[in-house]
Amino acid sequence: MAVKSHICLLGLIILCSLLTGMSEAEVTVFSSSGENVALPCFNALSDCISTTWTYSKPRTSVTVELIAGGIKNKNIERAERLSLGSDCSLNIYKITEEDHGKYTCQQYMNGQKHGMDAQAFLHVLHVSSSSTQTEMRSGSSLTLTCQLFSYDNTCDGLIRTEDLQLFWVNQVGVNLQTDSRYQILSSGQCIKTLTTTLLNEDNNTELRCLVQKKNEIKTSASYTVKLGGMSEAEVTVFSSSGENVTLACINALSDCTSTTWTYTKHSSSGTVELIAGGIKNKNIERAERLSLGSDCSLNIYKTTKDDHGQYTCQQYVNGQKHGTDAQAFLHVLHVSSSSAQTEIRSGSSVTLTCQFFTFDNTCDSLVRYENLQLFWVNQADVNLQTDSRYQMLSSGPCIITLTTTLLNEDNNTELRCLVKMKNEIKTSVSYTVKLEGKKS
């Protein structure tokens, strides 16, 4: 009997401990900063004038009264963002990370508390940037911090017991943990930082931080990359020196007299006006190699390595700028020879340097993050890296030199340097061997 009494007493103690402070209705809400949230009041009576909502600040004993007798407390800091729904739910407009915590809905009739409390625990996901600038440039480093704010750090417990996870994805939902372009670091149970070097093509792309619990996405917060000076209309052009290039003006009007083309070699250099009001600037060095197409495109005849850079097409109507800029980034591949002679002899050593010129040295980033490659091939498209006759040296991310000793049979053979990005040949430039005294 004594044993049974002890068991019954233990059961009562456990039951009391479970009931103490617990509510009949409890809900957990996940949201991201900037969203609108409605917290349900499950114990609501038909008339919301009996409803009181309170807020408990995490890790403090302070409780703030938000709604009393169905009337909003206008003396609190966020009063303008709060309202009471027709079902007595608490509406919070454009929540911030400071809104996380415990919200309690209570009912009072004739000054007496009625029924059990209904509680809502609000977890808020927030993304912040290390950059104070709203716009950044290609080549800049960006660090984003994603943090889940929860009442009394319950996030830590959710990660341990509820299989809760935070992770970053791109705009097509691919987990960025698998992409070498992005460095992901967990500096706490509920904090994930992402660091990357921005490329031109990152403009307007969206990076999202997700909260997943037991394979279910609970909420997400996004960050959209905005690069300074970038436009909605943008094109990247790959060319080799000596080619003719046409740069499209995507924002062109029907009459090219409204068109202006400018050129910027580097982001730190000045801007040169090439075309103004549809008329070519004849005072610039390369004026004879430029012309305006019937569709307002910019034609460059026999490009050189010095033509690489950023080209911007703008429209002006009655002296006022019209629409958004259209930009073209021109990358130029160039090959040079160590020999000053146009013809050399069999047995001579020749060194060819292939270099890829880009705006603001973005080639370095393209090599690291877009799998851009430079390599030499012969006229049968065989990669010369595998041929012991040729010595290859990379003296920079976008410079590859080829050295070989020429043979008689090399006369009129063609060596080509290729640019490949994501397994697609973007452009190539060739060098034809001419041996002295040999016939073509």
pLDDT at res. 415: 93
pLDDT at residue 52 is higher than 60: yes
* pLDDT for the residue 7: 33
d(CA 135, CA 133): 5
Mean pLDDT value of segment 179-199 = 88
pLDDT digits (tens, 9 = 90+) for 5-38: 333 333 333 333 333 333 457 899 999 998 999 9
- Give me the CATH topology for the region 23-124: Immunoglobulin-like (2.60.40)
pLDDT tier at 2, thresholds 50, 70, 90: very low
Nearest residue to 101 (alpha-carbon basis) of 83, 118, 81, 121: 121
Other CB atoms within 10 A of residue 259 CB: 25
- 278, amino acid identity: G
Exposure on the CB side of residue 8, measured as CA atoms within 13 A: 5
Q: Mean pLDDT across the stretch 90-105?
A: 93
42 confidence band (pLDDT: 50, 70, 90)? confident
3-state SS string for the chain: CHHHHHHHHHHHHHHHHHHCCCCCEEEEEEEECCCCEEECCCCCCCCHHHEEEEEECCCCCCEEEEEECCEECCCCCCHHHEEECCCCCEEECCCCHHHCEEEEEEEEECCEEEEEEEEEEEEEEEEEECCCCCCECCCCEEEEEEEEECHHHHHHHHHHHCCEEEEEECCCCCEHHHCCCCEEEEEECCEEEEEEECCHHHCCCEEEEEEEECCEEEEEEEEECCECCCCCEEEEEEEECCCCEEECCCCCCCCHHHEEEEEECCCCCCEEEEEECCEECCCCCCHHHEEECCCCCEEECCCCHHHCEEEEEEEEECCEEEEEEEEEEEEEEEEEECCCCCCECCCCEEEEEEEEECHHHCHHHHHHHCCEEEEEECCCCCEHHHCCCCEEEEEECCEEEEEEECCHHHCCCEEEEEEEECCEEEEEEEEECCECCCCC
Confidence of residue 348 (pLDDT cuts 50, 70, 90): confident
- Checking if the pLDDT of 337 tops 70, the result is yes
For residues 252-261, average pLDDT: 88
Lowest mean pLDDT among 57-66, 73-82, 155-164, 375-384: 155-164
pLDDT mean across residues, the chain: 84
Reading the block at residue 236, the tokens are 């990247």
pLDDT of residue 15: 33
Q: How far apart are alpha carbons 412 and 403 in whole angstroms?
A: 17
| CATH number of this structure's domain 233-330 | 2.60.40.10
So what's the pLDDT on residue 412? Answer: 87
CATH architecture of 338-432: Sandwich (2.60)
- Using the predicted structure, report yes or no on whether residue 409 has a pLDDT greater than 70: yes
Superfamily of domain 130-224: Immunoglobulins (2.60.40.10)
Q: pLDDT tens digits, residue range 207-236? A: 999 998 888 889 999 898 887 655 446 788
pLDDT band at 369 (very low <50, low <70, confident <90, very high): low
- Binned at pLDDT 50, 70 and 90, residue 372 comes out as confident
Q: Where are the domain boundaries for CATH 2.60.40.10 in the chain?
A: 23-124, 130-224, 233-330, 338-432
Question: Which of 218-222, 274-278, 406-410, 435-439 has the weakest average pLDDT?
Answer: 435-439
Q: Residues 428-438: pLDDT tens digits?
A: 999 988 887 66
